Chains A and B, each alone.
Chain A
Amino acid sequence: MTSNGHLTNGQYAIEVKDLNIYYGDFRAIKNVSLAIRSNQITAIIGPSGCGKSTMLRSFNRMNELVPNSHIEGQVTFHGYDIYANDVDPVEIRRRIGMVFQRPNPFPKNIYDNVAWGAKINGYKRDLDDLVEQSLRQAALWDEVKDKLHQNALSLSGGQQQRLCIARTIAVKPEIILMDEPASALDPIATLRIEELMRELSRNYTIIVVTHNMQQAARVSDDTAFFNMDEDRAGYLVETGPTSEIFTNPKDKRTEDYITGRFG
């Protein structure tokens, strides 16, 4: 355990073992085992509906907010089972933050968007500093420093998404989950988000879902490719360092998908 209160357990931030996720009777994820390296960017790719979002949301227990959903198997965070009975989901979500596909800032001003999470988590030091630092890390500070008390909804889509990232890092998570964070943005805004991810990967473990092959190739260190079978259950096809997956995939299906032959 390090001095900043973060849990560390060697190489892997998250390990998944024999994971099945259900919505009611429908199995969305089937027998997935996977390990996510610390302080790396892992991309999750796969055809639409194969369960990428579902997978991602199981890492910080967001899925249990969906009525009727349940999981089988194990997800560990630095070796600790996050679904154990005595684990606090609120604490898990604080440590494993999430950025969503569509920017979803609170309908409040910019400052409060960043500060609120820290406030409810009992942040004791200077909030102004934290807000500035988080916005700087999210590469948004220069654009908003003069209008911190404007409504966040007045920002552009790309700015809103960076604000959501700033909001996430303000509560000092260890892992950031991103579900297609750039899919609602134009190419320039997308590029900024990608740069930001590279920047953040020095301090955070990042797991990003993307539809965009180039993006996965550009930003990620590792890639996990998911596919779905006839009954629409998603499964893991192959995972490994991004360079290998993209240049020398072991599986035919991965190759087909990456080269755009299906999906």
Chain B
Amino acid sequence: MAEITSHINNPGYSDKSTPPELRKKVRLSETIIHGFLFLFGSISILTTLAIIYELLKESWLFFREVSLLDFFTGIKWQPQIGEFSVWPLVNATLMTSLIAMIFALPIGLMIAVYLSEYATPRFRSTLKPVLEVLAGIPTVVYGYFALTFMTPLLRLIFGAQVVQIYNTASAGIVIGILILPLVTSMTEDALSAVPRSLREGAYALGATRLETAIRVVLPAAISGIAAAFILAVSRAIGETMIVSIAAGAGPNFTFNPFNPAETMTGYMVRISGGDLSYDSIDYNSIFAIGLLLFVLTLGLNIISQQIVRRFREVYE
């Protein structure tokens, strides 16, 4: 294509050197500030490195004494007799988390459906702050609630002989209450992100409200909901105060939710809370368990983020 250029004679490239007044100035403060801000940004990296370094270092000391095989097989954690199988702790963690999920996922999902598909805007705008308040209550308060309310309630229902004072059921249910706001608000966000046009399309075909909600909106939001659920599992696994108050102290390999059993986090609190000597196997063991916990929760969080990212691409 013929370029029609300026009506004035076309200037050639200029190679005049920059005059002093246009030259870059040395702005020391800008450089220093930039440096500091970069440093601040990197502190997060340093934190991560510190976490990983400490976990690996102390775990390594632990695994010099205890073989990985022993750690991952067997069913006893009894340091006094040199039994270091992590399964009783993992099992208790899974028990409390599972109970929490059984409670929180269906209820959270249903509240979210109700909020996004049925509730009036006014009800929604009053319930949302309530959820925020619930989410802001410290977990130690939930721990107190588990021990002084949920456990007596369970004992009332199932009998005091059946339900021990410390038990995983009570802790699990209360963890469920704890993560309910998280599940609800994330699920609700996913449901509200489904475009109106999709709902209208279903209504126009003669679908009822329920059918629209269950067959159209829910499937469209499924990845967002999955992300919420996974994040909730990760929260439940990492939850500490509720289990250390209500689930019992002392590793115990049991599938009975009414028996006491110590979780990974509960163990870490109990061991480190006392006067702990730094060079003991006890000290090292909390890092080995911490490492396991870190890997578990990090993995779940990454999966959840990955799902959210893909989910976002669908609607943008």
Contacts and interface: CB of A to CB of B under 8 A. Distances in A.
The secondary-structure label for the interface of chain A is strand
Contacts of B24: 86-88
Contacts of B22: 7, 77, 80, 82, 87-88, 91-92, 95
A17 interface: yes
A34 interface: yes
Nearest to A240: B7
Q: How large is the interface on B (under 10, 10 to 19, 20 to 34, 35 or more residues)?
A: 20 to 34
Interface in B1-23: 1, 3-8, 10-19, 21-23
Given A31-B3, A236-B5, A17 B13 contact: yes
B25 to A, nearest CB: 6
The secondary-structure label for the interface of chain B is loop
A81 B3 contact: no
A142 interface: no
A79 interface: yes
Given A5-B21, A229-B1, A35 B11 contact: yes
Contacts, number: 76
Nearest to A9: B16
A91 B25 contact: yes
Q: How large is the interface on A (under 10, 10 to 19, 20 to 34, 35 or more residues)?
A: 35 or more
B3 A33 contact: yes
A220 B13 CA distance: 27
A59 to B, nearest CB: 14
Interface in A33-63: 33-35
Contact of A237 (B4, B13, B16, B17): B4
A87 B13 contact: no
A204 interface: no
A235 interface: yes
A14 to B, nearest CB: 11
Given A7-B22, A236-B5, A237-B4, 6 more contacts: A7-B19, A86-B18, A86-B23, A87-B24, A91-B23, A236-B4
Interface of B: 1, 3-8, 10-19, 21-25
13 contacts: A31-B3, A34-B6, A79-B16, A80-B19, A81-B16, A82-B22, A84-B17, A87-B18, A87-B22, A88-B24, A235-B3, A237-B4, A239-B6
